Amino acid sequence: MEAPDLRYEIVVYWSDEDEAYIAEVPELPGCVSDGDTYTEATENAEDAMRAWIETAVELGREIPEPKGRRLQFA
C-alpha cells in the first residue's frame, strides 16, 4: 500500500474533562486522538488517520478525498 494522503484538516482543542488536547479529523468520521501537548495531539492524529485509512481499505470502504481547509474567512 502506498503512503496515504494525509492532507485532511485537523481541529485541535483543549478538553478540561479529559485534561488533554483533542485532535479531530472531521472528514474521517470517528478519527480522533489526544495528547498532553498540542504537538503530541497532532502527531497522534496523523497516526489515527493512517489507521483509519488502513482499516477503510481492508473493509473496502470509500476513502474521502481531502478537502483541506473547511472554514473560509471573509
Q: According to the model, what pLDDT value does residue 39 have?
A: 98
Task: Confirm whether 3 is domain-assigned.
Answer: no
Q: Is residue 68 part of a domain?
A: no
- Establish if 24 belongs to a structural domain: yes
Angle at 38 between CA 8 and CA 47, to 5 degrees: 45
**Cross-strand bridge partners of residue 20:** 15
Compute the chain's Rg from CA coordinates. Answer: 13
The pLDDT of residue 67: 87
Say how many residues make up the chain.
74
The label of the residue with cell 502527531 reads 43
Give pLDDT, residue 1: 59
Residue at 43 is within a domain: yes
On whether residue 55 sits in a domain, the answer given is: yes
Whole-model pTM: value is 0.85
Instruction: Give pLDDT, residue 60.
Output: 97
pLDDT at 3: 77
3-state helix, strand, coil in the chain (%, to 5): 30, 20, 50
The answer as to whether 72 is a domain residue is no
Low-confidence stretches of the chain (pLDDT < 70) are 1, 68-74
pLDDT of 48 reads: 98
- Please check whether residue 71 lies inside any domain of the structure: no
